[in-house]
Amino acid sequence: MLHYAKLDKCFWAEAAMTAIYIKNCLPSPKCQDQTPFEIVSGFRPSVKHMRVFGCRTFVLTPKEKRSKWDPKAREGLFMGYEEVSKAYRVYDIEADQVVISRDVTFDESTLGFSPMLPQEIVDDTALDIESMNISDEPHPMQIKQTGKRKSRSNSQEQVLQRTLLERRGTGLEEASAPDDSESHQAKRRSSARENLDKERNVSDEDNEDATPQVFWRASANAVEGTDLSEPTTFKDAVDGADQVHWRKASCAELDSMKLRGVFRATKLPAGQHTIGTKWVFKIKRKADGSIEKYKARLVAKGFKQKYGIDYTETFSPVVKYVTLRMVVSITKYFGWTLEQLDVVTAFLYGEIKEKVLCAIPEGVEVDEDFDCFELVKAIYGLKQTSRVWNETFHEFVCSIGFQVSDFDPCLYVKITSGECVLLLVYVDDVLVTGSSTELIMRTKSDLKAGFEMTESGKCAFVLSIELVDNDNGSVTMCQRRYVEDVLKRFGMSYCKAVTSPTDISSRLIPSTAATKIDAPFREAVGALMHLMTATRPGIAFAVSYVSRFMENPQVEHWMAVKRILRYLQGTKSHGICFKPDDKTDSVATRMQTGPATMQTASRLQDMRLS
């Protein structure tokens, strides 16, 4: 394939994945003339969408990503098929990366690079996903992988092969086998490399069964590098690729409900209505993006509740960001430790006052004499659940000697024998800090006596905020992952960074136009406001400025929002920094804003009278 397409060996990974895809769609004598895809899915795949590997392509550039004078399409080379969507993988020559797009025009008469085009590519595993229509024929899941820049030397070619294999090996170890040792990973990768070197020269003509081995090995390793998806239905979860993890999480959820006595089976009384239930599946990740655990939640369809019958009061407080910053500042100033705990199935502890009936959930079997459940405890999804849990936790915390703060109802304080302990609560996340290690341990023991809790140790990630310890002893509150998610959400993951959030040479004015721009203006401003109030006060002016034009945004207003996003592209890890106690400062705060550092401090002054 590489020789026919006139492509360099550095594209071997893409070629291998495409070959696997094609072979999965072809009938095999060993499968009774069925295709591997047909055996798995039950229906025969179509090949109408297939194209010549390495042929010339033109990928549409969306309007929001090009200026008036830019070309509407970018030239590239066809690399293969995307694994989770009906789209194509194309090597974008100008951007020097592999992108995924549905709107692709093919020139199958031209293969490989033209004489004037460079023959090197850059590894960039981040992909630019576009959306247009192509054939509706089903595509089996395939593997995405990009090439690697390399020279003509054999040593660098070996480095390329090793890098690709190791990257693919790492993904599966983190996702589905976190307990495997590093030595086991290294041994497995080494074996894969040795076998690959032995088999890479075997051709299809010499041995029909030999060539697929290298492809299957490449496929298995590449699967490890794919992103794990969160199923949207119970059937997808229990029948999907990660069914072991999701089944375990679902059983744990049902066991917790049974232990708490959440519901009891009953007959539906005449004239009564039930509310439905739904399973929600989430992958909880750590600050570095690695998987912490698989979570399954059985939630109620609270939108079907009727006011005055199924619920009345719904309000419950949440912690203020200023309170969180204050607690972090206090812990760093006095050298206290900030520990994090998580209440397991927190909402299942509160008893509801109203009579709520729900349908029997998927995966739950009951006696045929019963046709619904009566909820004794609150479950996720009910309108009053959060309030019921807050009241339950508040009552318990006050019973062990804590007092709620007048400043924030989610902050609790306890002072014993001159020692202080602080308790900060956000739904089921609890932060504990204080001046006495013994008092902190006693507080955690008291909390565990009332609720089932897990300890996360030193707090490093809470409310989408990372607490990063610096070499000088300070701590920085930043939202790097949140910024990356926002950029990806609004198609700005690969935008060019700027050094300031506003353009001082431009002046925005309200528009009286009858139509407004077709862009997610309000969503973007809302996302920026969340970031501004949490850890990025440096963008406050820029965000408040663009928020004036929410009613009728135009192109120039949207461009101003995109400039803020470009500024965030270059300052993802910036945030608010708190430093330890400095004997010369009574108050000290430091913020990174762009290339500069802003610092405010009040100095202790000599008040002695002469």
Residue with structure tokens 């804590």? 402
Question: What pLDDT shows up at residue 609?
Answer: 33
Using the predicted structure, report yes or no on whether residue 593 has a pLDDT greater than 90.
Answer: no
Question: What pLDDT shows up at residue 320?
Answer: 92
Dihedral, 131, 132, 136, 139 alpha carbons, nearest 10: -40
422: its two tokens = 């602080």
- pLDDT tier for residue 137 given thresholds of 50, 70 and 90: very low
What's the half-sphere exposure (Cβ side, CA atoms, 13 Å) at 457? 3
Q: What pLDDT, in 10s, does the model give residues 539-581?
A: 999 999 999 999 889 999 999 999 999 999 999 999 999 988 6
Average pLDDT for residues 4-32, to the nearest whole number? 84
Question: What pLDDT shows up at residue 598?
Answer: 45
564: its two tokens = 């803020």
Question: What pLDDT shows up at residue 417?
Answer: 87
Average pLDDT for residues 145-173, to the nearest whole number? 40
Using the predicted structure, report yes or no on whether residue 121 has a pLDDT greater than 50.
Answer: no
Residues whose CB falls within 8 Å of the CB of residue 395, separated by 6 or more in sequence, listed in order = none
Tell the burial category of 304 from Cβ atoms under 10 Å away from its Cβ (0-12, 13-18, 19+).
Answer: middle
Of 102 and 210, the one with more pLDDT: 102
Which ranges in 408-495 belong to alpha helices (H)? 437-450, 480-489
Average pLDDT for residues 224-240, to the nearest whole number? 72
Using the predicted structure, report yes or no on whether residue 171 has a pLDDT greater than 50.
Answer: no
Q: Which residues on neighbouring strands pair with residue 307, listed in sequence order? A: 311
Residue with structure tokens 């708190």? 578
- For residue 147, the tally of other CB atoms under 10 A from its CB is 26
For 197, phi then psi, to 5°, come to -60, -35
Question: What pLDDT shows up at residue 114?
Answer: 55
128: its two tokens = 């630019």
Using the predicted structure, report yes or no on whether residue 64 has a pLDDT greater than 60.
Answer: yes
Average pLDDT, the chain: 77
State the Rg of the chain over Cα.
29
Using the predicted structure, report yes or no on whether residue 350 has a pLDDT greater than 80.
Answer: yes
- pLDDT tier for residue 285 given thresholds of 50, 70 and 90: confident
Domain ranges across the chain: 2-224, 234-463, 464-610
Least confident range from 42-56, 179-193, 472-486, 540-554: namely: 179-193
Length of the chain, in residues: 610
Average pLDDT for residues 146-174, to the nearest whole number? 40
Least confident range from 220-234, 503-517, 526-540, 576-590: namely: 220-234
Burial readout 28-67 (b: 16 or more C-beta within 10 A, e: otherwise): beeeeeebbbbeeeeeebeeeebbbbbbbbbbbbeeeeee
Cα–Cα distance for residue pair 569/571, rounded to 1 Å: 6
Longest dimension (CA), the chain: 104
Question: What pLDDT shows up at residue 517?
Answer: 85
Q: What pLDDT, in 10s, does the model give residues 9-19?
A: 888 888 888 89
What is 28-54 written as a DSSP string?
A: BGGGTTB-HHHHHHSSPPP-TT---TT
Cα–Cα distance for residue pair 412/421, rounded to 1 Å: 8
Residue with structure tokens 């009774």? 32
- pLDDT tier for residue 260 given thresholds of 50, 70 and 90: confident
What is the DSSP code (8-state) at residue 549? G
> What is the β-pairing status of strands 88-92 and 277-285?
unpaired
- pLDDT tier for residue 404 given thresholds of 50, 70 and 90: very high
Three-state SS string across 278-304, please?
Answer: EEEEEEEECCCCCEEEEEEEEEECHHH
Of 597 and 262, the one with more pLDDT: 262
Cα–Cα distance for residue pair 587/373, rounded to 1 Å: 56
Using the predicted structure, report yes or no on whether residue 133 has a pLDDT greater than 60.
Answer: no
Using the predicted structure, report yes or no on whether residue 506 has a pLDDT greater than 50.
Answer: yes
Question: What pLDDT shows up at residue 347?
Answer: 87
Using the predicted structure, report yes or no on whether residue 445 has a pLDDT greater than 90.
Answer: yes
Of 411 and 224, the one with more pLDDT: 411
Question: What pLDDT shows up at residue 220?
Answer: 38
Q: What is the arrangement of strands in the sheet containing 596-603, beginning at the earlier edge strand?
A: 461-462, 465-469, 475-478, 575-578, 585-593, 596-603
Using the predicted structure, report yes or no on whether residue 161 has a pLDDT greater than 60.
Answer: no
Question: What pLDDT shows up at residue 362?
Answer: 87
Cα–Cα distance for residue pair 501/488, rounded to 1 Å: 18
Question: What pLDDT shows up at residue 50?
Answer: 87
- Beta carbons of 373 and 357 less than 8 angstroms apart: yes
- pLDDT tier for residue 115 given thresholds of 50, 70 and 90: very low
Residues whose CB falls within 8 Å of the CB of residue 176, separated by 6 or more in sequence, listed in order = 242, 245
Least confident range from 127-141, 349-363, 425-439, 588-602: namely: 127-141
Using the predicted structure, report yes or no on whether residue 280 has a pLDDT greater than 70.
Answer: yes
Question: What pLDDT shows up at residue 143?
Answer: 34
Of 399 and 380, the one with more pLDDT: 399
Using the predicted structure, report yes or no on whether residue 401 has a pLDDT greater than 70.
Answer: yes
Give residue 133's Cα distance to chain centre: 26
Using the predicted structure, report yes or no on whether residue 215 has a pLDDT greater than 60.
Answer: no
What is the DSSP code (8-state) at residue 123? -
- Beta carbons of 154 and 127 less than 8 angstroms apart: no
Question: What pLDDT shows up at residue 214?
Answer: 38
1: its two tokens = 């394939």
Closest by Cα among 264, 354, 266 to 309: 354
Cα–Cα distance for residue pair 569/564, rounded to 1 Å: 9
What is the DSSP code (8-state) at residue 245? H
CA angle at 336 for the pair 331 and 342, rounded to the nearest 5°? 80
Query: In percent, how much of the chain has pLDDT > 70?
Result: 76
Residue type at 429 in one-letter notation: D
Which ranges in 225-370 belong to alpha helices (H)? 234-239, 243-260, 321-334
> What is the β-pairing status of strands 351-358 and 263-266?
unpaired
Cα–Cα distance for residue pair 524/64, rounded to 1 Å: 14
Closest by Cα among 534, 537, 531 to 594: 537
